[in-house]
Amino acid sequence: MSPRAALAGIGELKPERNTHGVTTMELLMRVSAEAIADAGVAPQEIDGLLVGPQVGETPQHVPATVAEYFGMQPSMSNMVDLGGASGPGMIWRAAAAIAAGQCETVLCVIGNHRNMPPPRSPNRNPAREFDTPFGASGANTSYALLMQAHMAAYGCRAEDYAAIAAGSRSNAQNNDKAIFHGKPASVEEVLASPLVASPLHLFEIVMPVAGADAVIVTTAEKAARLRHPPVFLNGAGEKITHRAVSQAPSLTSGPLKPSISRALAQAGMRIQDIDFLSLYDCYTIMVAATIEDAGLCAPGKFAEWLKDNGGMSCEARQPINTHGGQLGFGQPDLAGGMTHVVEAVRQIRGTAPNRQIKNCRSALVTGNGATMSEAVVLVLGADL
């Protein structure tokens, strides 16, 4: 982590339920231009490129295809494929490439349109052999299994998880980009929404949207000369434990637990020191498990902790997902994890409109891929 890098520019497109006549490449170009302008760097200063795997225009040679479309010739490029953890995973990889002297300023960009379904792999794997034949097909049933296991182990109630969805919807009312802006939902309304995969209700599941996010990562020295106060990467952790939920070593705890521990140790901080929790929230159970895996409370006690925390808003002791999270903002496919990075940068900069946390100096960002399988954690701060 030496020299430690800084996040100097951000871009985020307003999510849309569907897009027509727009390619993923166009969305990536648009959000990249926004991030570059936000950082105040010239396009030719970008010498590193990290992209997500789902670029519908090409199944392979993804970085080269994106670089060519952008008119770039980077000295470092790669594709990061960690599901919803891909965005946060790009950030520390960019910092590592900078520390290795391969580049100075890296564009990290990810997004997707929604007028073409993503390709499906025909390859055999444990999920296709041991999950799908028994009805565990897709994320809804897999995360329902995790939620059932959590409820059975600790006696948590349906309304405990529903409070997370309600909190996310409430936060989304302060973000005019959010897909559910103007559409709050109470705990009762969450529980009254259709049961999709027991015990998961419709409002406890992210709404897929089109969108894109981008972040510029550069050296701490260069960031200090740019348009905004630098947001430093002070710690990172990553862990993969499995792919198919049938192969998970635990159904109540995941790879975020060691990842959070490693990131905090690198930053020299305790979880209680963190001002803002930007937690990946594809499903309500994901937030519940993350709160517990972070060591904020004992297993099964997330609901009590949330109540003592004062909820999830910017006024809470440790606010959570002030932009609405993916449950309130929407999930732009694998860019969902990057939305949490962008919101953390806004909060630390002090530029989160209508939802600014007072004296926000640090943030914990989590990314999750597959079924609580792939984890990336970042500790971001206003200070090195």
Reported as a single tens digit per residue, the pLDDT across 66-87 is 999 999 999 999 999 999 999 9
Is residue 192 helix, strand or coil?
A: helix
- What residues have CB less than 8 Å from 254, skipping those under 6 apart? 241, 248, 289, 293, 368, 372, 373, 375
Reported as a single tens digit per residue, the pLDDT across 235-284 is 999 999 999 898 999 999 999 999 999 999 999 999 999 999 999 999 99
Preceding peptide of 194 cis, ω within 30°: no
Instruction: With residue 327 as reference, give the H or E element that holds it.
Output: helix 325-329
Q: How large is the angle between the packed helices 284-293 and 256-267, nearest 10 degrees?
A: 50
User: What's the pLDDT at 136?
Assistant: 64
List C-alpha distances in Å: 364 to 67, 333, 380. 30, 21, 6
Q: Cβ–Cβ contacts within 10 Å for residue 273, how many?
A: 14
Q: What is the mean pLDDT of the chain?
A: 93
What is the Cα gyration radius of the chain? 19
Percent of the chain with pLDDT strictly greater than 90: 86
List C-alpha distances in Å: 134 to 122, 129, 139, 140. 18, 9, 14, 14
| Residue 121 clears pLDDT 50, i.e. is over it | no
Residue pair 156/303 in contact (Cβ under 8 Å)? The answer is yes
- Percent helix, strand and coil across the chain, each rounded to 5? 40, 20, 40
Phi, psi dihedral angles at 364 (to 5 degrees): -105, 125
Reported as a single tens digit per residue, the pLDDT across 310-340 is 999 999 999 999 999 999 999 999 999 999 9
What topology does CATH give the domain 5-116+207-381? Peroxisomal Thiolase; Chain A, domain 1 (3.40.47)
Is residue 133 helix, strand or coil?
A: helix
User: What's the pLDDT at 125?
Assistant: 62
Residue pair 235/31 in contact (Cβ under 8 Å)? The answer is no
Please report which confidence band the pLDDT of residue 119 belongs to, taking 50, 70 and 90 as the band edges.
Answer: very low
Reported as a single tens digit per residue, the pLDDT across 13-58 is 999 988 888 888 999 999 999 999 999 999 999 999 999 987 866 7
| Residue 230 clears pLDDT 60, i.e. is over it | yes
Preceding peptide of 319 cis, ω within 30°: no
Phi, psi dihedral angles at 226 (to 5 degrees): -95, -170
- pTM of this structure: 0.93
Residue 375 DSSP code: E
Residue type, position 154, single letter: Y
- What residues have CB less than 8 Å from 150, skipping those under 6 apart? 156, 251, 252, 285, 288, 289, 300
User: What's the pLDDT at 124?
Assistant: 52
Residue 208 DSSP code: B
Residue pair 293/263 in contact (Cβ under 8 Å)? The answer is no
| Rounded Cα–Cα distance for residues 337 and 323 (Å) | 13
Select from 264, 288, 251, 278 the least CA-distant residue to 343. Answer: 278
Q: What is the 3 state secondary structure string of 260-294?
A: HHHHHHHHCCCHHHCCEEECCCCEHHHHHHHHHHC
| Rounded Cα–Cα distance for residues 363 and 298 (Å) | 21
User: What's the pLDDT at 122?
Assistant: 47
